[in-house]
Structure 1
């Protein structure tokens, strides 16, 4: 039950940090990864509390790994193209 409460508080704080730090892309990616890790913790706590299988945990773990790889590759290509990781540089009008 403690793990469940900790994961919910973690999702709340990670979501708040995702909404408040929107200047750099790296900050957004780190906050998004924190949300995914807290959701992994949440799904693990639910599956252990109710004695369910851990299929949802494995699916979320796969999505988290794919999201991290895709986010980092986009960040690297944006840094090569623009020279900075500011979110305001992603505007389609600046091409």
Structure 2
């Protein structure tokens, strides 16, 4: 049961970090990964406590891995295109 509380607490901290640290895209991606990790910990603890199948846990793990790969590829392409990773430079009119 302590794992559920740790997962929920990590979710709250990473959500606050996502809301407050929004100057660089890299900090947003790291806080999104922290959100996904806390959701995975929370879901894993619920799966272990309720003793149900772990299909949802594996699906969320696959989505977290694909989200990380997509975020890093977008960050690299943005750095090559613009030279910085500021959120304010993500204006759709500047393409």
| TM-score, length basis structure 2 | 0.98
Unmatched segments (≥5 aa) in structure 1: none
Q: Report runs of 4+ in structure 1 exceeding 2 Å deviation.
A: none
Return the alpha-carbon distance in structure 1 between the equivalents of residues 34 and 49 of structure 2. 22
1:6-85 → structure 2 map (5 Å cutoff): 6-85=6-85
Q: Any idea what SS the aligned residue of 2:47 has? A: helix
Task: Count matched residues.
Answer: 95
* Structure 2: distance between partners of 1:71 and 1:94: 20
**Per-residue deviation at 1:94?**
2.4
Partners of 1:93 and 1:23 in 2: CA distance: 19
1:92 CA displacement: 1.3
The alignment's C-alpha RMSD in Å is 0.6
